[in-house]
Amino acid sequence: MTIGLRKPGDFCWINMLTPKPKESLRFYTAVLGWHFTEMPGMGFGINVDGKPVGGLFDVVSPRTPNGMEPVIGLMVKVESADVTAKRVVELGGRAEAPFDIMDAGRMAVCHDPNGAQFDIWQSKKMTGTAVDTAHPGAPTWFETLTTDTGRAGRFYSDLFGWTREVKDFEGFIYTSFLLDGNPIGGMMQITPNMGAMRPHWGVYFTVSDADQAARTATQLGGRICVSPKNIPGVGRFCGLVSPQGVGFSVVAYAGSNGG
């Protein structure tokens, strides 16, 4: 659980790119309890427990590359976007030139050596979220599925100072990333039964009841891509896709209603 302003090396913000953003608001309000603040001419701010956690934008926009797929992008907080972007390249990844978002901060779009995209954020006036990750609707866990866990693990450890904790669940290997001893994300190997999947980062959101979230999502035109399952010692999760094609996961922690 994380409460308060994020420190360098932690996930601090999400940006959703979706078709028909206005039509998607009812879905996320019902499934995740989000509240929205309209940003005229841009999109919508996403709020959880009265605190901003990200933005929701039209994937078909002059601000996004042609052919961009619906996605939830994530940002990692850094001290310097320019220094970190240079380090990304030194470690075998790719980084576009950092740029300013007015006076809010400075960012760069990056890819790890396996191709998974993430963004880095140097805060100025916009420091990132301070929401409690255990609060329903909050981004709570970040996970990369990748083709080479050894290479990706070394990259992120060297870049952000994350330590790795590897566990074997009866042949299923899972790596947790820790920042200052606190788990903040995870990593899994892409396997043949996952199909033609590219390396990427995904986001889990806290809910009070994963099964109810799945039912609500399907009632509103979404679909279930991973049926609700228990995670021993953690809670219950499922994978969902919005009616507009945005994939994400939800998790109800053990001890919460339905967890």
Residue-level pLDDT at 40: 87
Could you give the C-alpha distances from 128 to 5, 37, 47, 106, 257, in angstroms and in order? 7, 16, 12, 12, 29
Domain boundary among 89, 123, 157: 123
Residue-level pLDDT at 63: 67
Residue-level pLDDT at 255: 74
Residue-level pLDDT at 253: 95
Q: Are residues 39 and 105 in the same domain?
A: yes
Report the percentage of the chain scoring pLDDT > 90: 83
> Which pTM does this prediction carry?
0.94
Q: Do the Cβ atoms of 124 and 106 come closer than 8 Å?
A: yes
Domain count, the chain: 2
Q: Are residues 118 and 46 in the same domain?
A: yes
User: Which structural domain range is residue 64 located in?
Assistant: 11-123
Residue with tokens 């996961």: 249
SS3 content of the chain, % helix, strand, coil (to 5): 20, 45, 35
Of 155, 148, 207, 199, give the one whose Cα is nearest residue 177: 155
Tell me whether residue 196 is in a domain.
yes
Tell me whether residue 42 is in a domain.
yes
Q: Are residues 147 and 44 in the same domain?
A: no
Q: Are residues 97 and 163 in the same domain?
A: no
CATH code where residue 68 lies = 3.10.180.10
Rounded CA separation 43/37 (Å): 9
Amino acid identity, position 258: G
Q: Are residues 168 and 85 in the same domain?
A: no
Residues in the chain: 259
Angle, CA of 93, 65 and 10, to the nearest 5°:
45
CB count within 10 Å of CB 129 equals: 27
Q: Are residues 210 and 156 in the same domain?
A: yes
Q: Are residues 174 and 240 in the same domain?
A: yes
Tell me whether residue 1 is in a domain.
no
Rounded CA separation 64/61 (Å): 5
Tell me whether residue 191 is in a domain.
yes
Residue-level pLDDT at 256: 61
Tell me whether residue 131 is in a domain.
no
Q: Are residues 163 and 69 in the same domain?
A: no
Rounded CA separation 45/241 (Å): 20
Tell me whether residue 133 is in a domain.
no
Encode pLDDT of 145-171 as tens digits: 999 999 999 999 999 999 999 998 777
Domain boundary among 91, 123, 155: 123
Residue-level pLDDT at 196: 85
Encode pLDDT of 223-254 as tens digits: 999 999 998 889 999 999 999 999 999 999 98
Strand boundaries in 83-211, DSSP class E:
94-95, 99-101, 105-111, 117-123, 139-146, 163-169, 172-179, 182-189, 200-206
Domain boundary among 69, 98, 123: 123
* Blockwise average pLDDT, block size 10, the chain, 259 residues: 80 96 96 96 94 94 76 97 98 97 95 98 94 96 97 98 91 92 96 89 98 98 96 93 98 72
Q: Are residues 249 and 145 in the same domain?
A: yes
CB count within 10 Å of CB 179 equals: 20
Q: Are residues 179 and 109 in the same domain?
A: no
* Alpha-carbon dihedral sign for residues 45, 36, 139, 250: negative
Determine how β-strand 139-146 pairs with β-strand 182-189: parallel
Residue-level pLDDT at 62: 65
Residue ranges of alpha helices (H) inside 101-232 are 149-160, 210-219
Amino acid identity, position 192: P
Greatest Cα-to-Cα distance within the chain, rounded to the nearest angstrom = 51
Q: Are residues 205 and 157 in the same domain?
A: yes
